[in-house]
Amino acid sequence: MAARLGSNGAFAYGGNDIPKPCTVVMAYTGHSDFSLNDPPTFVTSSEDDPIASVSAIERRVESMRSAGIYVEYRKYKNAGHGFGLGTGTDAQGWIEYAIRFWEEHMSD
């Protein structure tokens, strides 16, 4: 849903007519759609995710980059799916990267 709001804004889904997000943070999702006017996007995943395909995520990241959309992608090895803050996995601390990304792009 975060990615779709980034592409289309809340109004497209029955929400208020407010500005689209200036950045998107996507974690462990196989969502593949994007638009050419997507905002900068932070993406994180884990190689051992049994639900969200890392190859699908990486195809989306590459497609977005090829379209000129700024994407920061962080892939971990043993965080599984739904790793939250990453506590006890190699994804621990990912949220700090996401926050930094959001802060850098929130005025774009």
Tokens coding 73 = 């992608």
pLDDT digits (tens, 9 = 90+) for 9-48: 888 888 888 888 888 998 887 778 888 989 999 999 999 9
DSSP state of 106: T
User: Shortest CA distance to 64 belongs to which of 43, 98, 34, 42?
Assistant: 34
Q: What pLDDT was estimated at residue 108?
A: 61
Tokens coding 67 = 């379209």
Q: What pLDDT was estimated at residue 31?
A: 78
Q: Could you give all domains of the chain from N- to C-terminal order, each with its CATH number?
A: 2-105 (3.40.50.1820)
Q: What pLDDT was estimated at residue 29?
A: 79
Rounded distance, CA 20 to CA 8, Å?
Answer: 7
Asked whether 105 and 22 are in contact (CB, 8 A), the reply is yes
